[in-house]
Structure formats: C-alpha cells, structure tokens
Amino acid sequence: MYTLRHAQASDDPAIRALIHAVGINPMALDWQRFTVAVDEQDHVIGIGQVKPHNDGTRELASIAVDPCCRGQGIAHAIIEHLLSKNPRPLYLTCRSSLQDFYTQFGFEVVPNPARLPPYFRHLDSLGKTMQRLHFFKEPLLVMKR
C-alpha cells in the first residue's frame, strides 16, 4: 500500500538516496518539484519530477522506485499523476530498453535530432558520444508527448 503526495523538505535525503541507489541522473534534484510515493510509515518508496529547462522545455525525469517495492504500479501512478498536472509538450530521456514503457503514456521517440529543442539536442549528442565511448551500454532516447 502506498500514497502519492507532494515532496516535503524532509524528503530530500530520501530522494537523493533513491536516485543514487538506482543509478540515474543526479543533476537538478529540487525536492520542491517531486511527487513521492510513501508507504504506511511515510517512507519514500518512489519518486518523480517534471523539471524545467532554460530553453523553456519541461522534462519528465527522475522516475525511480525502491527495488524492493517494484511491481506494484508505483512508477505508473507517479507518471500518471505528473502527466495530469503538466500540459504538453513534455520530453523525457531514457535508455532504449524503456521505450515501450513510456510509449504507453503517449511518449514517442523523436527520430530527427535536428527537430529537438536545444537542451535535448545537446543531450542526444552527449548520449551518442557516451555510447561510442562505452560509458552507456544501450542507446539513450529522447521522447516527446
């Protein structure tokens, strides 16, 4: 059993710890943008945010669920909640193996990097470089809803 709520300042350490534990991008973690899933004891078990970028775009980001709590629909609930509160367009970046997961929410791969806003064009280029240098095991995708 879990509940979704807006993050509080006291959740910041748990947000950062979960980001670190699952190995996703630790940049731009402002607890004020996060929605958290909490268990009956109010422990953070899932997180997600929509983060704004300087070019005016917004990104669905930092979706993470404690590994011991996966398979309960927590990520799905967090994403649906964030999508209901944020108008289109929204972007996201993810490993290629997650494409089908995000497609169910209406996200589509942007096939032409030249059509991406500046922030995501830069991320796309950086992701390709990191993969060529073998820092990434699979391609990074930019998706839009």
pLDDT tens by residue, 6-53? 999 999 999 999 999 998 888 889 999 999 999 999 999 999 999 999
Rounded CA-CA distance 68/37 in Å is: 13
The single-letter DSSP state of residue 135 is: S
Rounded to the nearest 10°, the torsion over CA 118, 24, 108, 143 is 0
- CATH 3.40.630.30 spans which residues of the chain? 1-87
- Provide, for the chain, the percentages of residues in helix, strand and coil under a 3-state DSSP scheme, each rounded to the nearest 5: 40, 25, 35
Measure CA 78 to chain center.
10
Query: 1-87: which CATH topology?
Result: Aminopeptidase (3.40.630)
- Give the pLDDT of residue 126: 80
d(CA 123, CA 113): 10
Do 62 and 25 contact (CB within 8 A), yes or no?
Answer: yes
Average pLDDT over residues 80-109: 96
pLDDT of residue 122: 84
